[in-house]
Chains A and B, each alone.
Chain A
């Protein structure tokens, strides 16, 4: 089930939380929402979940509009809100049953659904405990379980892994990826590594606007046009090497990182494969190329670059 967000606008007072956002998520895609605090991630997700009514714009979930066919959208969405609100005084299993019944699961099927979801979320040992007796990680699992109970076509997860320990994070990520193969998943996170590990596509928003959209590979290219390599060249005078490196066609900036060990950093112009030229230069001058490290731009850098003014 595809999700199409068209020109979504939402203002709180004078502050524009979401400013004319449009994007599309296809079935079988896991979309990661990245952005600093207050960027508009949660607002957008609340609007898709039908909870928040936007000022203008439309959201289609499988060709049904959240404004006109909210009932249909609600039936097909699994939603984990920010801060994972739960009825804390209820036992886990009663709560999940309550949600299942609300989602319209029939009496015959409800126990199967409960067992499946308790199994997938690893709640077997805790199912009779009251929710307020659970640790944060287990509460998070309950939140995830209630979003999954009716086997929805679309999953909206607002920071699904907060409060989980590293092992649980890995489990939940695997689960999300598994679900994401057949369904449409949107998740938000501050943790860049997480988005990188789970999502097919990343959407970075800042001040209510989309500032980047694409796969991690796309984003790297987009943010950093230059290829950067670090080299260590021995067998020649540092200054000579430096001068020669600067003469290479396509080398935009050459830096000496460490003169004693003759280490250099070379930024190439976009699209030029600088490594080959460096190698040939060394062969020509009989220098020894002992290190050649391509520098990957980290997602953190891209994020920082796109979301700071």
Chain B
């Protein structure tokens, strides 16, 4: 655990040193704030004391931002060769993967903490369902965790950050849109499986305030699988 934290700390430091963290926080807050309060189907438009507009815009904002956050995590190490240094220190492959995953997750978590004023504002305007807010944030964290997992995996494949970013979006879009579309056009067991693999339904039911273990397992499962695949990619490099 200690080793993981040492690497996580370094990754976080590098996010802040490279300004990546500030850019992400400003863009995320700006983007989600703009659409939550000022434009489109914002809170004043729907006239309800709810954070649903925020959850929905954050869902897509995170989809595009997280791969940008994760794209350099391992690809840069592969490109510079620093992965060799890291893995010849007394740390395991798994510790490296988990540490990098945690660093991104903590940064995203910090972004969510900065949206606490949203909760305070909305609850002062009307009767805000705090249970729903909690499950909505949980959904955002679980969804971010899944995207970080996918991003980390695509970053572990090669040494090019852009390829990693685009590949993460490509894999992500299957979960966001394509599985759902295919699921609707198919009947029987195949349709059910594709439906289950689509993030939209899991995310929506959680933002409505329903915490179902199936939804949690879905996000946690994809995250875990992505981390395992990332580790396999690391191990593969040590054989070739």
Chain A residues within CB distance 8 Å of chain B: 12, 46, 49-53, 71, 74-75, 77, 79, 81-83, 85-90, 94, 98-99, 101-104, 146
Assembled-state Cα–Cα distance A77/B87 (Å): 12
Across the interface, do A53 and B82 meet the contact criterion of CB distance under 8 Å?
no
Shortest CB distance A38–B (Å): 16
Query: Are A51 and B87 also in contact (CB < 8 A) when A89-B17, A98-B6, A101-B6 are?
Result: yes
Shortest CB distance A297–B (Å): 37
Q: Known pairs A49-B88, A77-B88, A81-B85; list 11 more (Cβ under 8 Å).
A: A51-B84, A52-B238, A71-B92, A74-B88, A85-B85, A89-B14, A94-B13, A102-B3, A102-B7, A102-B89, A104-B90
A residues less than 8 Å from B82 (CB atoms): 85-87
Q: What residue in chain B is nearest A76 (Cβ atoms)?
A: B90
| Residue B116 at the chain A interface, CB threshold 8 Å | no
Q: What residue in chain A is nearest B235 (Cβ atoms)?
A: A53
Selected contact of B84 from candidates A71, A75, A81, CB within 8 Å:
A81
Instruction: Please name 12 pairs of A and B residues whose Cβ atoms are closer than 8 Å in the assembled complex, sorted by A.
Output: A53-B239, A74-B90, A81-B81, A81-B85, A82-B81, A85-B82, A86-B80, A86-B82, A87-B80, A89-B18, A98-B6, A98-B10
| Residue B240 at the chain A interface, CB threshold 8 Å | yes
Chain B residues within CB distance 8 Å of chain A: 3, 6-7, 10, 13-14, 17-18, 80-82, 84-92, 238-240
- Report the tally of A-B residue pairs with Cβ distances under 8 A: 66
Across the interface, do A83 and B6 meet the contact criterion of CB distance under 8 Å?
no
Q: What residue in chain A is nearest B81 (Cβ atoms)?
A: A85
A residues less than 8 Å from B91 (CB atoms): 102
Across the interface, do B240 and A46 meet the contact criterion of CB distance under 8 Å?
no
Interface of B is mostly: helix
Q: What residue in chain B is nearest A46 (Cβ atoms)?
A: B84
Across the interface, do A53 and B88 meet the contact criterion of CB distance under 8 Å?
no
Across the interface, do A146 and B85 meet the contact criterion of CB distance under 8 Å?
yes
Assembled-state Cα–Cα distance A51/B82 (Å): 12
Query: Are A51 and B238 also in contact (CB < 8 A) when A74-B90, A104-B90 are?
Result: yes
Selected contact of A85 from candidates B6, B80, B90, CB within 8 Å:
B80
Assembled-state Cα–Cα distance A103/B6 (Å): 11
Assembled-state Cα–Cα distance A222/B75 (Å): 47
Q: What residue in chain B is nearest A49 (Cβ atoms)?
A: B88
